[in-house]
Each structure stands twice: as structure tokens, then as C-alpha cells.
Amino acid sequence: MKINVIGGGAIGLLTAAKLGRIHDVRLLARTREQSEEIAVKGLHIGDEVIVVETLPSTDWRALGQADVWIVCVKQYDLPPIWEKLKLHAKAAVVFLQNGMNHTDFLQEEDFDYPIIVGSVEHGAIRIDSHTVEHTGEAAIRLADLTGNYAEVLVNQLHKPDFPILFEQDWRLMLGTKLIANAVINPLTAIYQVKNGELLEHSAFEKIAEVLCKEAADALGLEEEQQWANVRRIIYATKANLSSMHRDIQAGRLTEIESISGYVRNHAKQAVPYTDFVYYSILGLTKQQERTNQ
């Protein structure tokens, strides 16, 4: 297949590298410097070096058409990317983002091609512009937002060493991941702890459970099942630093708007714990910006 991958972050590099072993992959990187470095050195993942065609984000027209587009940018970078995609894409588009804000505006649009949303369960850290560390092997799950193409695509892309799985219910799929993110990401960033410490201290665990309840209620999902899933993920990733924790440490923007912000926007009743972590992360981000100036 011809696949255009948009985004040179950890998930974009991981996706381009894994799919590039078999398929014809073109990667749209953020900068010309990144695209040139990948062109010279290839994509590095573990001991593997995968060669993929790479272009900077200014060269949309040079990408050409593909059988599928896979968008791996952060939520806050998505709106301008989507405006360009509407002009260029003529085939299925897959969105691999944390949070769910994109589902709101995508459902308001009209397309001639399928829109697929995905949930990435892998752990990945970008080491440099051409190297990604695969910190946790899991799966990518895909579901149809519009159209009826996700299962066909899964059958074309799935490989045992890079599983891509089909899900019937996009709301349940994305909602389940969002609830875990709404609990783990802000709390670990605020308390500056690894994921596992949220269950090692009764006070942290109590706050985590209430955050889970608020998010589950807002999304209309069953609280007990979601709390069991959150606990499972915390145990499975207990030694990890969450992406939001790393973002705060590095002085980067976080995805709090598309995670806790989505819960706040869709809640039918007060969500005081979610409000607290939402505004806390906004405050920490501003504080870190001043520190880095």
C-alpha cells in the first residue's frame, strides 16, 4: 500500500518505521532539517534502520496521493493539518490522537472518503529527529468514525509484530483511553511521580478513582469497568513517566484541552476534580514557560 504518515513525533516515527518495512511509506516531517536527517540516516528503531521517503511539512503537494493517510500529530496541531488534508486527501484518513476533541469537529464535516479514528496503546519516546525508542509493545486499534473501511484497512495492515486491531464502537474505544489519560496524565504531572505511585498511596488512589468516575459519567461509560481498566494500565505502566509529565518537565504544551477539557465540555454535571487538574496543568504549563524564558 501507499501510505502517507503525517507527523515526526514519537508515534509518527514509530508508525512510519513499522509500516515502512512492508509498505510504501512517505513521512511528512515537521521541519526540513528533520526530513533531511531521516533521508540521510533512515528511521532508527532498536537495531533496525528503515528507509522511508521523507518530506518537510511545507511540501504537501509533493506527497502525492496515497491509499491511506495516517495523521499522528498532537491534538493542538491538528486544525491546520486538517485544513490542508481537506485540500489534498482523496482516500481514507486515519487519526491517531490522544483525547477526543477531533471527533467533535470531524463529525460536523462532509467527506467523500472514510474517516477512521484510532487508539495507540504502544509506548514510544522520540530520542532524536530520526530515532524512536519502542518502550511498550501493544497494539493500535481502529474504528470507523464515518464510512465502513476500518476493518478492511486492519486486514491490510495488521502484522503479528505490529498488531492493528478492529473495533466496532469508536466512542467506547476512544472513551476508554481518554478516561485512563484523564486520570493518569494530569495526576502524575501535578505530583511529579511515575504512573505506579498513583496506586501506592491511598490519597493519590482516592483522587484517581474520583477522576475516573467524573470522566466515565461525562462519557456515559460504566464506572466500575473503567476504574478496573485504569488500574490495569497503571500497573502495566507503573515504571513509566506519563506523556503529560514529560511534557511539563520539558516545558512543552500538553494535551490537557483534548483530555480533561473534553470531559469538562461533555459533562452534564459538576466535575470539580477534573476542573482542579485541568486548571492545575494550565498553571504548571505557564509556570514552566516563565522558567524557560
State how far the Cα of 210 lies from the Cα of 271, in Å rounded to an integer: 9
Geometric angle at alpha carbon 198, from 127 and 202, rounded to 5°: 165
User: Could you tell me if 146 and 115 are in contact, meaning their C-beta atoms sit under 8 angstroms apart?
Assistant: yes
Using DSSP, state whether 145 is helix, strand or coil: strand
State how far the Cα of 166 lies from the Cα of 151, in Å rounded to an integer: 6
Q: Which amino acid is at 172?
A: L
Q: Tell me whether residue 41 is one of the annotated catalytic residues.
A: no
Looking at the DSSP assignment, which residues form a beta bridge with residue 162? Answer: 159
Q: Which amino acid is at 85?
A: L
The packing angle between helices 272-292 and 202-219, to 10°, is: 110
| Residue of 276, 78, 256 whose CA lies nearest to 182 | 256
* Candidates 18, 74, 177, 213; catalytic one: 177
| Residue numbers annotated as active site | 177
